[in-house]
Amino acid sequence: MKKTLAILLSAMMILPAASIAAPKDKLGNDELKNKQNKSEWSLVWSDEFSGPEIDRSKWTYDIGNWIVDENGKGITSGWGNNEKEYYTDSNDNAFIDDGKLVIKAKKEQVTDQFGTYDYTSAKLKTKGLFSKKYGRYEIKAKLPTGKGLWPAIWMLPEDDKYGAWAASGEIDIMESWGSRPNTVAGTIHYGEGWPNNKYTGKEFELPKNRGIDKWHTYALEWEPGELRWYVDGELYQTQNKWYSKGTDNAANFSYPAPFDQEFYLVMNLAVGGWFDGEVDETTKLPSQMEVDYVRVYDLKKRDYREPVEPVSGPVELPADAKQPLEDGNLVYDQNYQKPVKLVDQPGIELDPMYWNFVKLPDFGGAGSLEVDAIDGRNFAKTSITTAGTQLYSLQMIQNISLGNGGKYKVSFDAKSNAARNMMVKVGAGAERGWVKYSNEESFQLSGELQTYEFTFDMLNETDIASRLEFNLGGNGTNPVWIGNVRVEDITGTPVDQNAAKQPLPNGNHVYNGTFDQGGMDRMMYWNFSGDTAATASVSEDARELHVAIKDGNSDSETVKLDQQGMNLVAGNDYKLSYKARADEPRTIQAALLSEDGTNYSGTEATELTSNMEEYTVEFTMPEDVSDSEAQLVFSFGDEVGDVYLDDVVLLKTSNIPDYGNIDLYPLKNGDFSDGLSSWGNYVHYDASAVISVDNGEAKAAISNEGNETWSVLLEQGNLSLAKGVVYELSFAARSTKERNAEITVENAQYNRYFEKVISLNDEMQQYTYEFTMPADDTASLKMLLGKNDLSPLGAHEVFIDNVVLKVKGAPSEQEPVSTPGIDNGTFADGTTDWNAWWGDQWSGYAEGTMNVENEELKVAISQVGGATYSPQVFQMDLLFEKGSSYTVTFDARADEPRKLNVNIGKELSTDPWFIAYMPTYTVDLTTEMKPYSYTFTMTEETYGDGKIVFELGNILNGNAATNVYLDNVSIIKN
């Protein structure tokens, strides 16, 4: 049974997988092999329900209809599933009758502090009384039928060891639909905390004459790395692929998490909810589920199996699947040359091969899709007239084929005309219960074209009709452009564990400092060197690093543990803490070093004892040194013995930002000189307003403020704000009628970093505020012009101007820094740092000269070569960091119209000779000097000798041999 621990789940995300197993009428030899060998198991706990009443030493109850926090405050109703019953501990809803447990659902009203409910029932659980890891769980039960009845026998973790639901797991031994009296299902829930939970499972069809309202035995056998489900002794599914990831993890918890901890039992009968819908006139109430016994066994004749971590291998799609294209892309018609199918009514089938635009009337979305060219490439532009009530009110969808066990990368380019969000996911259609294969990834778009990407593991069964969904509804009416969409199978691609590392959400700079993440060796991100003198290991039970040093004659510097890619910021204080012990007293050292060995933290010896104790090292980075490639090194010495290490944490304890990587002026077009560019606005259906620019000021002409503060909204999103930085927000505002307005800075989850209610009148007033960011985040500045304390106001106008959001103390004019390292981009120093290449025997020889005239680079071409890059002008030694966004700008012209290609990448000495960091950017030069600009995101590994190339060779339809002029070349890290 699905249990969120936070917020209401969507119906489209909750149904179990639709694969079905059916019993045979007669069992042959093959079927008999599927029967479990019960003689392997020994009974360790049971309830035969033979007493006069429910045994309170074994069972306790959930009460109510709401999930509540530790203070009793309601989080969400219906137990997160839209259930309609109120659970009681009354003998009317749960009791013993003739040696059987009865859980009875009744139609009767109950009221509590949260509301009134029309049904009562019971939910029994063993939490705090009995829980177990692994074993055989067997329940004999008879279940009710009827629309909206949802009986379930399931398990939850005794402690949420790996995080909120479903990161810590859930095991559904059996649940059934009252409206489907011959079907039961078994499911596991895992992954991350809601809404990024995942589930896999299978249904089982009972004989037509022996449905759920007859006695059946439901069993689960749970071993390390494997769960097996049985009905009446028949095996119908085996699960062994899952994962768990916490909010502060750099990687998944080591397999077989989360199913490697103690779980307790739950039995309940729900009424209503998303699983089987609401009750109707055919549903008989009261109805009851009966349980004859609950028995839990342990293995007695053999050890539990050793878990085997699932290995990702080549994905082989079925012959009838939509196969990847030659370049590996699973998406067809990337350039939108085929008609996009409109799906605007229920029952219209998706085009199974190409793009679909979905706007079903039930969800209120309205808009249109057309193909629009940007820089010579086709994009799908969705114009939105009504956003609708759901994110999926408007969708762009393509079916793709995904194979079980594959790892996939989704990438695309996108923009809007102002800041707005868009949710993208990959999942199943209705026939598989809308199950999610990827997380629901939310991307904040801006007015600039950017590349976005995410990865996911396909743990469900192969689906040749998976849905790649761009969900364009529910987020305002700003249009969206989407292009260059790719889905690629990247199964087996290794993770660079030594790459530069950003601090985790909890501030820790150390990845896997708890030695419980990554592969089953639990040592992901750590490098151990000990030659033959020592070994390093992490046991499943202890989950601490054990270094066993066997050769006391080794070099004292030989036995080391290190982690690369620590990101240390100039001038800041840091605190390293770790727990350690040794079997015999000994000395170890911990230090933060640069890649070349410069010691930032000093060398301090730590005397270990046989007790696990915490040790700390505090240090301050030099004022003029930031290092994103620092390393944490533990040196264990050369004495024979055992050393244990755990809970390694490196925190920045001061908040001096690295201003070289911070946007000093994150808000753009605050004087509205470019209209509403970079700004977004929203008018809710309950309000009436028009937002425009008048005489260089933003004007909101409001005739009705609506019912919410946000019913009329002016905002700018995509503001990249840095932890610890003090920001100064200033603006001028007035209103033709006295009123209040609320100003906020908040993230996509509505977490506010700044909020202020201001009073407006007909005099333009200046407002200035300061706030300090507690975390790195992308936020929005919102001016809430809807309902306020003086509403209703009638028709009035609000004017806003000179909005500035800057780092406190930033210069009045921000001077962009060419962070990748472009030198002499204005050619004030002649051709210094620039080079020309005129071809070879393979690319064809070009002829000409390169010099500087009037501080412009002049390339005089008398003959072009055979390739686009012969000739070329280039500069090397440029730094590009993985994950960073860069904008390339330059001015260019030619004496005769021709084309110019711009490429940025890594030069190689062997085939393929060049790895591109951005798509080739082609411009059409004219005789007029014009500015050009292109933004891209670096997706390759960080590299310090990148190259920018201006290709002036044999470019199709634009290869004139003429004079070409360049000026003001820059590359800005955004």
Last-in-domain residue among 652, 677, 699: 652
Q: Do 249 and 135 fall into the same domain?
A: yes
Q: What's the whole-model pTM score?
A: 0.66
Residue 317 belongs to some domain of the structure: no
Instruction: Band the pLDDT of 23: cuts 50, 70, 90.
Output: very low
Give the pLDDT of residue 12.
32
Instruction: Band the pLDDT of 438: cuts 50, 70, 90.
Output: very high
Q: What is the 3-state secondary structure (H, E, C) of 148-214?
A: CEEEEEEEEECCCCCCCCCCCCEEEEEEECCCCCCEEEEEEEEECCCCCEEEEEEEEECCCCCCCCC
Q: Mean pLDDT across the stretch 466-492?
A: 93
Place of tokens 């030619």: 894
Total structural domains in the chain?
5
Instruction: Band the pLDDT of 97: cuts 50, 70, 90.
Output: very high
Q: Do 377 and 247 fall into the same domain?
A: no
Structure tokens belonging to residue 288: 């009851």
Give the pLDDT of residue 25.
40
Give the pLDDT of residue 20.
52
Per-residue pLDDT reduced to its tens digit, 376-396: 899 999 999 998 878 899 999
Which range (13-17, 234-238, 405-409, 905-909) has the least confidence? Answer: 13-17
Q: Which domain holds residue 856?
A: 835-973
Give me the count of residues in the chain.
974
Give dist(CA 270, CA 175) in Å, integer. 11
Residue 321 belongs to some domain of the structure: no
**By C-alpha distance, which of 872, 846, 844, 837 is closest to 961?**
846
Q: Do 85 and 175 fall into the same domain?
A: yes
Neighbours of 845 (CB within 10 A): 14
Give the pLDDT of residue 894.
95
Question: What is the share, in percent, of the chain residues with pLDDT greater than 90?
Answer: 68
Last-in-domain residue among 652, 673, 702: 652
Question: What is the share, in percent, of the chain residues with pLDDT greater than 70?
Answer: 94
For 542, 546, 597, 639, 809, the CA distances from 559, given in Å and listed in that order, are 22, 12, 16, 10, 48
Catalytic residue ranges: 170, 175
Per-residue pLDDT reduced to its tens digit, 187-206: 999 999 988 899 999 999 99
Per-residue pLDDT reduced to its tens digit, 631-673: 999 999 888 999 999 999 999 998 777 666 678 888 988 999 8
Q: Mean pLDDT across the stretch 107-130?
A: 96
What is the DSSP code (8-state) at residue 792? -
Q: Do 572 and 478 fall into the same domain?
A: no
Q: Do 560 and 608 fall into the same domain?
A: yes
Q: Do 358 and 295 fall into the same domain?
A: no
Per-residue pLDDT reduced to its tens digit, 834-876: 999 998 888 889 999 999 998 899 999 999 998 899 999 999 8
Residue 16 belongs to some domain of the structure: no
Q: Do 287 and 370 fall into the same domain?
A: no
Q: Considering the chain, what is the average pLDDT of its residues?
A: 90
Q: Do 369 and 484 fall into the same domain?
A: yes
- At residue 660, φ and ψ (nearest 5 deg) are -65, -20
Q: Is the pLDDT of residue 824 over 60?
A: yes
Residue 559 belongs to some domain of the structure: yes
Residue 766's beta-bridge partner residues?
Answer: 732
Q: Do 646 and 666 fall into the same domain?
A: no
> Tell me, what CATH number does 137's domain have?
2.60.120.200
Give dist(CA 108, CA 598) in Å, integer. 74
Give the pLDDT of residue 940.
86
Last-in-domain residue among 613, 632, 652: 652
Q: Is the pLDDT of residue 31 over 80?
A: no
Give the pLDDT of residue 273.
92
Q: Mean pLDDT across the stretch 885-907?
A: 92
Q: Is the pLDDT of residue 17 over 50?
A: no
Per-residue pLDDT reduced to its tens digit, 61-90: 999 999 998 888 888 899 989 999 999 999
Instruction: Band the pLDDT of 37: cuts 50, 70, 90.
Output: low
Q: Is the pLDDT of residue 8 over 50?
A: no
Residue 829 belongs to some domain of the structure: no
Residue 20 belongs to some domain of the structure: no
Give the pLDDT of residue 910.
74
Instruction: Band the pLDDT of 313: cuts 50, 70, 90.
Output: confident
Give dist(CA 595, CA 69) in Å, integer. 47
Give the pLDDT of residue 842.
82
Provide the H-helix boundaries in 216-284. Answer: none
Which of 136-150, 313-327, 743-757 is most confident?
136-150
Q: Is the pLDDT of residue 27 over 70?
A: no
> Tell me, what CATH number does 765's domain have?
2.60.120.260
Q: Do 106 and 240 fall into the same domain?
A: yes
Q: Mean pLDDT across the stretch 281-299?
A: 97
Give the pLDDT of residue 363.
86
3-class SS at 660?
A: helix
Give the pLDDT of residue 155.
98
Q: Do 49 and 198 fall into the same domain?
A: yes
Q: Is the pLDDT of residue 608 over 90?
A: yes
Give the pLDDT of residue 811.
64
Residue 26 belongs to some domain of the structure: no
- At residue 825, φ and ψ (nearest 5 deg) are -70, -15
Q: Do 360 and 295 fall into the same domain?
A: no
